[in-house]
Amino acid sequence: MHGDLRESWWIREVEVPTRVVLAPMAGVSVQAFRRQGRRFGAGLVCSEMVSCAGIEHRNERTLGYLRVGGDEHPLAIQIFGSDPGAMAEAARMVAAAGADVVDMNFGCPVRKVTKTGAGAYLLDDPALACRITEAVASAVPVPVTVKMRRGVEGGSRACLELGPRLVEAGAAALTLHPRSATQMYTGYADHSLTAELVSLVDVPVIASGDVTSHAKAQSVLAATGAAAVMVGRGAQGNPWALREIVFGEGAQPSREEVAAELIHFVRETVRELGERRASGFLKKFYGWYLGYGRFPRPFKQELVQLSSTDEVVTRLLAAAPGAAELVEQIPLAADEILLVGLPISIYGGG
């Protein structure tokens, strides 16, 4: 049992400094989000899932996901696909980009992923899942991990059959979100399955799903024997949730602190994605940051309608003037960015 979330643990030779992992989330887990997660206590951060086909075909936007900053480590980059050879090649590029861990998505329930034989589809094809895992683990020197759901249909226990086989094929750790693919995010995560999986494998298991507080994280670790918990949606626009889960510090941020973190996040995202892409990407974050009663609801709508991120920053500073000083205290991003040998201009930002 691991009761102290501030303890370090290991994925093979990679030391993870706390027992909280920031989940890979499509359309969310950009570099700015990961860096913020590390500052607020996440021991391991993950990229959003990257298509192995996009890497294979050198898709510009896909390759942009392989940017690695020096202050992100330890970092897992997550890949998905259904062809063992293509996944192995993608893993080589991910490792070359500087990832500490190559994670594979065997749980995404979205149709455009499963219809290609990837994501949650692999829960119904354990032989292919094992071939992919063996190919990827053999291709890279860094640890390879797998994130999966309980199965495709409600009540499935496919994860308990597949998990030990993935470890035999080379997986150094497993993440289990014990909802079915058909459940998406409805119902609840059945962590009794997580406990069963822990008893079946001799590698670390990360418990994902419904971890929203320090007390909940402690109870999940105690009940399952998992090595760590994964936090996803609860950290969207709310890095203070990570601090509370890791350290048990539950003080709500001031309006100035919220504005300062959002301003920093906006600027870092623009640096990463460029103004045009960042402007649209950031709109969903305004509601996440400004919710929880922190700002009046109409204020979020006002920000969404502004035409540039500079205008957003100006409006935030007007609403919370004290944020300006706090922004200056937030550490700047590390200079190190590895770009797989490609010029930075290819990403339209940075």
> Which domains, ranges and CATH numbers included, belong to the chain?
9-247 (3.20.20.70), 255-333 (no CATH)
Higher local confidence (pLDDT), 56 or 260: 260
Q: Which range has the worst mean pLDDT, 207-211, 234-238, 243-247, 331-335?
A: 331-335
Percent of the chain with pLDDT over 70: 94
Q: How far is CA 226 from CA 206, 209, 257, 303, in A?
A: 6, 13, 33, 41
pLDDT band at 343 (very low <50, low <70, confident <90, very high): very low
Q: What is the pLDDT of residue 286?
A: 96
2-12, pLDDT tens digit by residue?
Answer: 679 999 999 99
Q: What is the pLDDT of residue 186?
A: 86
pLDDT band at 184 (very low <50, low <70, confident <90, very high): confident
146-165, pLDDT tens digit by residue?
Answer: 999 999 898 999 999 999 99
C-alpha span between 78 and 132 (Å, rounded): 14
281-308, pLDDT tens digit by residue?
Answer: 999 999 999 998 899 989 999 999 999 9
| C-alpha 61: how far from chain center | 18
pLDDT band at 229 (very low <50, low <70, confident <90, very high): very high
Angle at the Cα of 218 (from 216 to 224), degrees rounded to 5? 95
Choosing from 52, 108, 130, 159, which is the catalytic residue? Answer: 108
130 is catalytic: no
Helices (H), the chain: 31-39, 52-56, 60-64, 84-97, 111-114, 126-139, 158-169, 191-200, 214-224, 239-247, 255-273, 275-281, 283-290, 297-305, 309-319, 323-329
C-alpha span between 192 and 197 (Å, rounded): 9
